[in-house]
Chain A
Amino acid sequence: MNPTLTASAGVIAPLSPADLEKELQSALYEQRTSMVEFLIERGMFCVSMTVVATILLIFLFVTKEAVPVIFGRTDTARSGIVMNPAELGRMSSKQVGEFLGQSPSVVENLPANTLAELVLERNKELAKESNPDAKLNTTTWSMMTLPFQWSGDSAPTYKWQPVGNIEKYNFIPLLWGSFKVTLIALLVATPISLMSAIYVSQLATERMRELIKPSIELLAGVPSVVLGFLALMVLAPGLKEILGTHSMLNSFVAGLVLALAVIPIIFTIAEDSLSAVPQTHRDAALAMGAGRWDAAIRVVLPAAAPGVCAAVVLGFGRAIGETMVVVMASGNAADLSWSIFDSVRTVTAAIAAELPESATGSAHYQVLFLIGSVLFLITFFTNVTAEYILQRLRESLEGATAAEDHGLMNEGAAASPAGASGGGYVNTVV
């Protein structure tokens, strides 16, 4: 190739090989714009925009159902006014629905005499209601987030009791439960997965790496319902025997099993960013006389620190959104307690357990969608933060590699950042 190149350069124009290469590429990729090709591209563009649209739609439609509650337009107060069954015809199905605690569509589908009977029942129920709490609207923001002294209680408390005579929608215990279980899971998962990540990417032999890495990543392939099943059937009874805890299903069991769900994601991302640190960093440390251990801890780990942080952040997002494990293993009692051996109810568990049973459009249904949107926002910002950190890390590592390439023409370093390909972790989050 070289002789012809120089020959042609001598005859036509003094083009350097690099320039020639560039020219060749641009000639190859120059588009002969035909109508069909253009349409294909536009079509593909539209399809790929569905992903962006989906994220927006998810937020829109989860929040939409909660709009009345967000703007304080839902009212659960029962004024004590008795509805006259004879006047049913003059009232809208929406009013009747609110009176009966049912959705308007349910009311519309009922025959008139059944409806009259239901109204009579409800009148009797309301007449019996002597509790002053019944006159309260329990879906205001202050009732949902601040402690309140219910009649009969001695002190203000946070209560989530959506089913019962007086529905109490304070979702602070649910958030507390979510954070508690998540924290336990992260405390268990973070050290062990970071240790494994450092070992696999820096200290292990090639053969060990090929064995261990896939087996930890494959933990993600175990469905969360199977993890929940194991927690419920094996771990919880076993731990109760050993520790003698008060409740068999508690936040400790849930957190422990949740850790198994979180480990693959923390491990994968941490391992990816550790492996993406250019080989030259390590070589330099080794050349200065550091051992493999010191090179890994003092040189590679600090260089990959942002990626390790991002791994933990993403692990947090995964843990707080995990549903089946906590539904099955956390005990589902919405208590505010400090003990890790008490049952908790998380946001996800509350939605999963209560949404199928709540009447569409009722106050309960709206509050569940409200906490759903809160959960969505939490995970959204978690993801955005982690992605921002990873993006920055990738850029800085690319910069470092490029600089070294320039100076040293090191081929090994050029190959290494391939591990940090963008979004590669998605598939491990199975």
Chain B
Amino acid sequence: MTNSAPATNGEKASPLNPDQSMAALAADLHSNPVFTRANVFTALFAGASYTLSGVLVAILLFLLWHGGRGLSLDFIFSRASPTSDVAAYGTAGVFDMLYGTICLVALMILAVMPVGIITGVYLCEYTDPKSTLARITRSAVNNLAGVPSIIFGMFGLGFFIYFLGGSIDSYLLGSAAPVFKKPSLLWAALTLAVLTLPVVIVSTEQALRAVPRAFRDAALGLGATKAQTLVKVVLPQAAPGIITGGILAVSRGAGEVAPIMLTGATIFSPTLPGSLTDKFMELSYHIYIMCTQPAHVEAGRAQLYSTVVVLLFLTFFLNVAAIVVRAWARRFMRRMSANI
């Protein structure tokens, strides 16, 4: 390009001179510039990804750093202090909240697993994925997963407490004082069960799809009926995946606040929940209440961070465990099907 004379300057670029364009092309092919658009943007995109991963790690480390120090068996097993008693808050534990959360989640799992597994099995084994029925059901599952959690709370209030609870009270018990027609452990657990239903259904379906078809063929070929094949062959193979679904549901349910604040969680109760109709204290709701009360934040910042870490063990780390189990199960399945 250096020898381009002023005469040829009149024309834009000089494609007419074959020697020059060939030379330029050769230079283009052999040069290896670092700051091409592609490289710059690739680096930018990589940076965005690293930032996001970094944010997660930073959040976890930050919380563990601040909350880990206050974590002890004593903290986990001592009783909570009344909300009004700010001074005692600094030495109070989380046992009531932990107990409430575990009761809540256990009831929720009892309710959600049967329904979720049966629906998943029906969707995967008994319907043609292209049929209208399967499409409607799957669409309902996806929609249910997208309903805001506060709407579940309103649904729990309107349906479970006022409608179901009210009906039980007036028709079955005939009592004037509300027994079931008030926020309680039972209704909160059922509300959460509805909320986590899609998680279980989708996990079950995915676990079933991962079972190699040859297993079913073999069982059917030996004369087993469809139900026998399902119970004796397919479900045991899919069990790890289904259990993962259960763990994911627990981790989702334990972290939700909006549904239970309307259907049964209470700020403070001096006794542990003894029956299904009692109100209960819950970890995530407790965190919400405490960090929106400046007096308590001042009294027990370390306490609050430790509570958050306890909650993270029930939600985030459980989630990680579930994903590890699922990855392991998937690899196991793949090896099985490769052997066949």
Closest to A297 in B: B41
CA distance A355 to B150 in the complex (A): 10
Instruction: Give chain B's interface secondary structure class.
Output: helix
- Distance (Å) between the CB of B129 and the closest chain A CB? 8
Q: Within residues 213 to 270 of chain A, which ones have a CB less than 8 A from any CB in chain B?
A: 214-216, 218-219, 221-226, 228-230, 232-234, 260, 263, 267
Mark B202-245 against chain A: 1 for CB-CB distance below 8 A, else 0: 11011001000000010011000111000000000000000001
Q: A426 touching B141 by the CB < 8 A rule?
A: yes
Answer whether residue B99 sits at the interface, using C-beta atoms and an 8 A cutoff. no
Residue pair B226, A204 in contact (C-beta under 8 Å) = no
A229-B10 Cα distance, complex, nearest whole Å:
67
What is the CA–CA distance of A379 and B151 in the complex, to the nearest angstrom? 10
Q: Is the CB–CB distance between A44 and B121 below 8 Å?
A: yes
Contact of B198 among A29, A193, A426 (CB under 8 A): A426
Contact of B284 among A44, A45, A225 (CB under 8 A): A225
Q: Contacting chain B: which of A32-40, A275-283, A406-414? A: A32-40
Chain A contacts of B217 at CB under 8 A? 25, 28
Q: A116: CB under 8 A from chain B? A: no
In the complex, whether B49 has a CB less than 8 A from a CB of chain A is yes
Distance in Å: Cβ of B142 to nearest Cβ of chain A: 5
Complex CA distance for A44 and B62, rounded to whole angstroms: 47
Complex alpha-carbon distance, A167 and B194, angstroms: 34
Q: Which residue of the partner chain, among A37, A47, A423, contacts B118 with CB atoms under 8 Å?
A: A47
Number of interface residues of A (CB under 8 A): 99
With known contacts A32-B225, A322-B148, A426-B198, A203–B45 Cβ distance under 8 A: yes
A355 to B158, CA, bound (A): 12
In the complex, which of the residues A216, A225, A293 contacts B56, with contact meaning CB atoms closer than 8 Å? A216
**Do A225 and B220 contact each other (CB < 8 Å), given the known contacts A218-B320, A348-B150?**
no
- Chain B interface bracket (under 10, 10 to 19, 20 to 34, 35 or more): 35 or more
Question: Is B339 close to A, CB under 8 A?
Answer: no
B48 cross-chain contacts in A, Cβ below 8 A: 191-192, 195-196, 199
The reply to whether B197 and A51 contact each other, CB–CB distance below 8 Å, is: yes
Given A225-B287, A372-B150, A426-B145, CB of A324 within 8 Å of CB of B319: no
A232 and B308: CB pair below 8 A?
Answer: no
The answer to whether B150 touches A193 (Cβ under 8 A) is: no
Across the interface, which residues of B come within 8 angstroms of A327, CB to CB?
288
Asked whether A119 is an interface residue with its Cβ less than 8 Å from the other chain, the reply is: no
Q: Give chain A nearest CB distance to B62 CB in angstroms.
A: 7
Interchain CB contact under 8 A, B227 and A36: yes
CA distance A384 to B145 in the complex (A): 12
Q: Which of B115, B139, B199, B225 contacts A387 (CB 8 A)?
A: B139
Given contacts A260-B55, A355-B262, whether A232 and B145 have CB atoms under 8 Å apart is no
Q: Is A141 an interface residue (CB 8 A)?
A: no
A58-B151 contact given A221-B316, A387-B139, A427-B248, CB 8 Å threshold: yes
| 30 pairs, CB–CB < 8 Å, chain A vs chain B | A44-B122, A47-B114, A58-B152, A62-B158, A64-B158, A196-B49, A196-B52, A208-B46, A225-B288, A226-B287, A226-B311, A230-B62, A260-B55, A263-B52, A293-B37, A293-B41, A293-B42, A314-B146, A320-B148, A321-B150, A323-B257, A375-B148, A380-B143, A382-B146, A383-B146, A384-B143, A423-B202, A426-B145, A426-B199, A427-B248
A-B contact sample (13 more), CB < 8 A, given A48-B119, A212-B52, A293-B37: A40-B227, A44-B118, A48-B122, A51-B137, A58-B155, A204-B46, A216-B52, A221-B320, A229-B291, A323-B149, A348-B150, A356-B262, A427-B203
Which of A's residues lie within 8 Å of B, judged by CB? 25, 28-29, 31-32, 34, 36-37, 40-41, 43-45, 47-52, 54-55, 57-58, 61-62, 64-65, 191-193, 195-196, 198-200, 203-204, 208, 211-212, 214-216, 218-219, 221-226, 228-230, 232-234, 260, 263, 267, 291-294, 297, 314, 317-318, 320-324, 327-328, 348, 351-352, 355-356, 360, 369, 372, 375-376, 379-380, 382-384, 387, 421-424, 426-427, 429-430
